[in-house]
Amino acid sequence: MTEGLFGRLSGRGASSKTASAKNFEVAMSDEEWRRRLSPEQYRVLRQHGTERAGTSPLDKQHGAGIYHCAACGQPLFDAGTKFNSGTGWPSFWAPLENGVETETDRSFFMSRTEVHCRRCGGHLGHVFEDGPKPTGLRYCMNGVSLAFQLGETAPDTNKPDKP
């Protein structure tokens, strides 16, 4: 019930469209997403939820690899761009090229920049302008929306510039 109330107050929820109802390369019915994802993944990725800070083991993951969308497998972030933001969520200073898209999120009576998967539209988190160099950005991601592949590398053409 609380989730429904927050969904109604924020303009988000089970009946809302992900990423402005854009047509995505990976598209499934609501029922297909529910079968494919865990309840928590569904809540975050499809209903624009947020996991509790400090609950994701990926926040403490420091190995080399690639972070993918947990819904569709799209490569999103190289571990080389990950940093400890102290927020309790995995944070990155840049996404992989063509991995994510953004849009304005006006839920909860504020304006933020939402980050979603370019391929399926799954809600990943938000980006803020208080990150480290070289971009000054902090992509604050829900760990439940990510799948980490230890040791995987992205093609050089897909990697953000290193500092």
Give catalytic residues, as residue numbers.
Answer: 140
Q: DSSP characters for 64-81? A: SEEEEETTT--EEEEGGG
Q: Please count the other Cβ atoms lying within 10 Å of the Cβ belonging to residue 30.
A: 12
Distance linking the first and last C-alpha atoms of the chain: 46
- H or E stretch at 150: strand 146-150
Do β-strands 146-150 and 65-69 pair in parallel, antiparallel, or remain unpaired? antiparallel
Q: How big is the CA angle at 74 (ends 32 and 53), to the nearest 5 degrees?
A: 85
The span from the CA of 68 to the CA of 112, in Å, is 23
